[in-house]
Structure 1
Amino acid sequence: MNRWNTADTTLLCAALFFLAAVGCKITFPDNVVAEGFLFVTEAALVGGIADWFAVTALFKKPLGFPFHTAILPHRRKDFIKASTVMVQQEFFSRRTIFKKLGDFKLMPRIVDYLARNETRQLVVKELFGVVKKFFAAQNKEKLSKTIANELRRILRDLPAQSMIADLGGHFKRNGKDREIFIDIVKAMRRVAAKPETCDRLQAILEEYAAQRTQNSGGFSILMAGLAQMLNLVNFEEAAQIMQTQLLKLLDELAADTQIHRRTLNECRLKIAELADTPEFKDLVERMQIDAANALPLEEAIELALIHLESQIATTDVDEALAKAQASKSLKLGGKSLGVLLVTIFNDEYGKLIELLRGDTKARAAFEKFIDELTKRATLYAQPLVGVVAKSALERLTEDQLNNLVYDKAEQDFIWIRLNGSIVGSVVGLAIFVLIKFAGLSV
């Protein structure tokens, strides 16, 4: 604004030409050309000075003239208010913002950014950090009591009838009842195959024979003693035969035979009948209550939480992430909780990227969400643009504000002043010619 420019040069030239014209007029008082030259230069000088005054009056007081000058400093508040409204309603209007957002194609940029390996690592680390902080912030003792109380409530409130039915149905559907039956039979066979079992059978037979003999009178006792002396009744051999037959029976029960299937079905029916009895239901309910009260759930849960927190705290995220990215498939076995979480986060993040790229519906839904989010954010920020513009303008000094406006339209202001001298000289020449044609004197 204070720099020398083309308009200043033009005005200086007009003043010099005017002085030269005055000299020519004095030297050649009756010369028409000298008279016209003076008339034209005078008009150019007056026009240039007038436009210089007009442009300068916008920003300060030219030559100290106080009336209707320094317009911008005097109307500073109105100018700032108008500029703020213009920024909000013209430069950052809703229509303009939505049009720019529509042309920006934000979705492909977001997907490409999310697909970068650096972004994946950042997201996985942030998620793991959130989980780590969450575990560290928990009161283990209080949390274990809360979980234990809830587990006890669930255990106590489980309906005995439905629990028995569900458990039996689960065992039957998965063949677990057959496995349990076979395990019981095998356990019985192991016991039956022991020598002690044979001895026990022999003792039972001898005891049974003794009781029958005593109940039958003296003659029976005599005959039994005679049979033993002649080795007609051998309890040891009988016990061995019974043991052999028992083992054979147990082998058939353990194999897929008709007796195995019949016995298993019979057991199922008896268990179902037993489950419907009120006594069994009461027994199960008492077992539920006793288990809920007797189980040391608080200590077990607290130890589990401490162990899980230790696993998370000691996890090297970078190493776990590198292994997870190198692995082709998600393998959960044998991993600590921290490594498991990193693996799951990495795998699910990859699935998210594939979903956004391959699933049209998911991509459209995510794009709609991003579009609404950005529009809401920009509309929320729209008033802030005016606040920022107003705050910035209010902090400017008068000279800074003048320079800001002048610099934005400097060429226009220069041409306004140039046009003053040019138009003044042209109009002055035209008026001089008309005066001479009319035969009037200047």
Structure 2
Amino acid sequence: MTYRQRANLILGLSFVCFIAIFFWWYTHDVSVWEELLFFVIQSALIGSIADWFAVTALFEKPLGFPYHTELLYRHRDRIIDGIARLISEKLLQPDMWKDKLYQISFMDKAVDWLRGPQGREKLRTGLYEVAQRAHQHIQRGETQTAIAGHLRMYLKRQPLVSFLEDRLVSLLEDPTSPMFQDLINLVRRVVNSEDFDKLLERLIIQWREESQHSSMSSITLTKVLGIVDTQRIAKDIKLGIVNWLDQWEHAEGEQREWLCRKVEILLYSMNGQLSFGVQNWQNEFVDALPIEQWLTDIEHSTKDYFMTGEQGREELKDLLEEQFIHYLEYCRSYPEIKEWLDEQIRRAFNVILEHEHSLIAVAVRDVLSGFDKNRFNQFLESKVGEDLAWIRINGAIVGASIGLCVFGVLKIYQFTLVPFLRGLFL
């Protein structure tokens, strides 16, 4: 039961009790306690009616009384201006909201709201409307061509080499990252493979053939005479690489830092050559992607959802909601991603509140000005309705208390002062 319902109940009970005891008053002989009860009930009824009239006059015309009623709606322009001024000058000041922004996790708030019935339904409706509009646009051939062109341009512009280099170096420098150990293990697996043995032998044979026409030396002479054992040389090189990897696998402190610096210098020194080669491969790979076919397949696969009526609509909503919530939960599961998203939202709020907070007040004024009488009264009553109901309840309590006091004064006057005055003057 709300406080407004309680206030109405008190008013109704006071009226019923007053009628009942009023009838008893004029049809029976009453005692002092019955007189007291009648006095208290009628005082509570008077207080309830007075405060009911006062509270109701704020919003409506009680009993059709036209004078000084509907006070809030009559002065709604002043109220709206005051609310807008309060928002613009007081509530949206930087020193008040900046600290509060960092006390809120917008990702958690968003997920909690979306899991509620109201937020969930709005999410499902919004996702379906976006999917419907996207499906309508993607059916056009020129739209698919434009989307494919923008996707290819975007994919070609991604700096893969710089991204991979920076990521690799940062992981190597992180002492808690297993990247260094994983890199050593990867190189060891490559070195221990048969393909690596064949590669070494092929490189040694190629080097021997290229050196046959160089100046005569002891090494060149042995190559010409065919004394060099390529398999043994390849085996020795492989053994040296494995020993070197074993040494660096257990490297710590300064040795590991030195190796990381060498790898970093090597990577950045090869940046130009790698960028050129990777960019050419990236362009060829992106051009070879059947993006237009993918878009056509997506359009055909989603057509059934829009052609099967309410069932298809609900199935598509379920699918989109599941994927969207799954993505949000994925972002929440990684603190760095969650913090990054929260920080971006905070920055957006900072920009809006610093430069456009006056527009928020204007928007509030426009929204409230568009309310009719009922909606405006409902808006205000939702903010102070319980307090106003308590005023009515307190009116009944105060009226009953005053009635009790007045009854006591009257009885004291009747049984004490009246006989005294009569004896004094008569």
TM-score (normalizing by structure 2):
0.42
Structure with higher Rg: it is: 1
TM-score (normalizing by structure 1):
0.41
Greater RCO structure (CA 8 Å; 6+ sep) = 2
